[in-house]
Amino acid sequence: MSVEASGKNMKVVCDAKEHHDKTCRWKGKATEVHMAFFDIERLGWEEGDVICGLIVVADGTVTSGRLRVTCDAEPDGGGRKEEEEVEEVVDAVATRELQPVGPGYGSSNTWHCC
């Protein structure tokens, strides 16, 4: 993963932490970010890394593409609290331009790829 993409994903974690700390019903401070193991590995991170002050935790209950922030004040010891969408960053380059096809070409906004 590129440095730019990793930086964008770090920002997502920082934003989720900030959102948690502003809205936590127990007035706690975020301590961990729970992610699917696949996502941690894909980002080039490791369980136990510290991202934006949060410890990265592999969590089988969090689906790929999402994250959950937990804090020191949660009564259930870090159960479900805040779940945020993780930005999917892909470096892609088109090999050709999309061309409109099918009936009604020019009469609608529907585009179909090859």
Cα torsion through 12, 13, 18, 22, rounded to 10: 100
pTM above 0.85, yes or no: no
Contact 106, 100 (CB under 8 A): yes
Q: What is the pLDDT of residue 30?
A: 94
Torsion sign, CA atoms 74, 28, 87, 53: negative
CB-based burial, 30-52: b 16+ in 10 Å, e otherwise: bbbbbbbeebbeebebeeeeebe
How confident is the prediction along the chain (114 residues), in pLDDT tens digits per residue? Answer: 677 778 889 999 999 999 999 999 889 999 999 999 999 998 999 999 999 999 999 999 999 999 999 999 887 655 444 444 544 444 444 444 444 444 444 443 333 333
